[in-house]
Structure 1
């Protein structure tokens, strides 16, 4: 007799699949009916094929009818005219799957909430993984880890969608002092994006091209609540009540994402 699993256990199986991925973003999928696992898939199991498609194509139409799909990441939608096969969302809609349970919404600005919306519009029930499991997925899905908290120094690629994304910058793993920043108003065609902070907390490091050029961060004048940054520019963030500052350099700007570098320094 086939083993029956609870929904929570099926979510965990999908996460196990997504941890098999050797490329980012990691995605794992499970298809079940009445608690019985029918198929699984993970991104990279077959080159160039998404996890949902891999799991779906392992089954017949009869097996797929009235089944439930668990996927750790929001299913993709058609994002460009040259795409040769239908998106995962379109495949799910025509497959006979009755419900899709999503781990996290895709932070990619071309997908964010669009796959979710498309499924709902086509009478697919959509629910989500348990909160603690969503946190685990968030930490392991993307190449740069969690997108809303960073520590010490490093580089991070993040999406800038809708009204922007807030990030907590923690001084060190064992030092919980934190400064909050927000990226907003990405204008890819103009090559700029806004870095926001508290009133008067941001200074443009005019003339500096690398962090080592900045020996005294507070020497720069003209504090503002935001900096409109272009590739290669550096800003300094220090709220009036903070005991450290953060240096931010915009490394790359994409249509929906940015890559930036940061470094914390004691005041």
Structure 2
């Protein structure tokens, strides 16, 4: 007798698959029907293939019809007309899948929410992992970790779309002091992006090339709520009354995303 799993169990098994990945972003997939697992897959299991394709190709086209797909990351979309392999969202649509359960939406600005929309537009039921599992997936999926909360120091790749992504910078995991920043108005062709902070809290550290160049963050003048930064520039975010500040550096810019570095410092 075949074992029947609950939706929660199938989500957890997809997470187990994604933890097998040794490359980023990590993605794990389970294909099931009525709680019975038909196949699994993870990114990197078959070189060059996405996890959804790995799992679906393990079963016949007839077996795919009417299945549910549990994937830790939003299925990709076609990025250009000359793309030789159909996207995972298109493969899912063509396979006759009736439901997709997603861990997290892809933060890549070129894909974000488009796979989700593609599935909905083709009358596929879409739901999401539980909040607890989503948090676990997000921490393990991307090379740069969780998207909307960061701690202490590090680097992160984030999308910059519409009004921008709000990011809470927490001093460390045991110290709940937090400063909120956001990114907006990415102009890739001009190589600039806007860093926003609370009113009057952002100042450009003119001349500084690395964080260690800044021995006293309070020497820099002309604060505003926004700083327009190019690659390599550093800004300091220090809201009124805050007991620490955040140093922020733009490492690289892409069409829809940026990579930035940050470091928190107590105010002496």
| TM-score interval, smaller chain | over 0.9
Q: Could you tell me which residue of structure 2 aligns to residue 129 of structure 1?
A: 129
Which of 64-73 and 207-216 deviates more? Answer: 207-216
Aligned partners of 1:135, 1:213: CA distance in 2, in Å? 35
Q: Which residue of 1 aligns with 2:241?
A: 241
Q: Distance in 1 between matches of 2:171 and 2:126?
A: 38
Cα offsets for 1:127-158 (capped at 9, x unmatched):
11111111111111101111111111222222
Of the structure 1 ranges 234-243 and 166-175, higher mean CA displacement relative to structure 2 is found in 166-175
Aligned-residue RMSD, C-alpha: 1.0
CA contact (8 A) 1:107 1:161 kept: no
Secondary structure of 1:53's partner?
Answer: helix
> Structure 1: which 5+ runs fail to align?
none
1:44 equivalent in structure 2: 44
Which residue pairs with 1:197 in the alignment? 197
Distance 2:163 2:51 in 1: 30
Runs (4+) of structure 1 moved beyond 4 Å? Answer: none
TM-score relative to the length of structure 1: 0.97
Pairs aligned (count): 267
> Partner of 1:164: helix, strand, or coil?
coil
2:207: which partner in 1?
207
Q: 2:8 corresponds to which residue? A: 8
Structure 1 segment 10-25 matched on structure 2, within 5 A: 10-25=10-25
1:89 equivalent to 2:89? Answer: yes
Shift of 1:161: 2.3
Partner SS, residue 11 of structure 2: helix
Cα distance in 1 for residues equivalent to 2:235 and 2:120: 42
TM superposition score normalised by structure 2: 0.97
Distance 1:242 1:187 in 2: 30
1:90 aligned counterpart, secondary structure: helix
Task: Trace 1:42-121 onto structure 2 (pairs within 5 A).
Answer: 42-121=42-121
Partner Cα distance (1:131, 1:178) in 2:
22
CA contact (8 A) 1:201 1:223 kept: yes
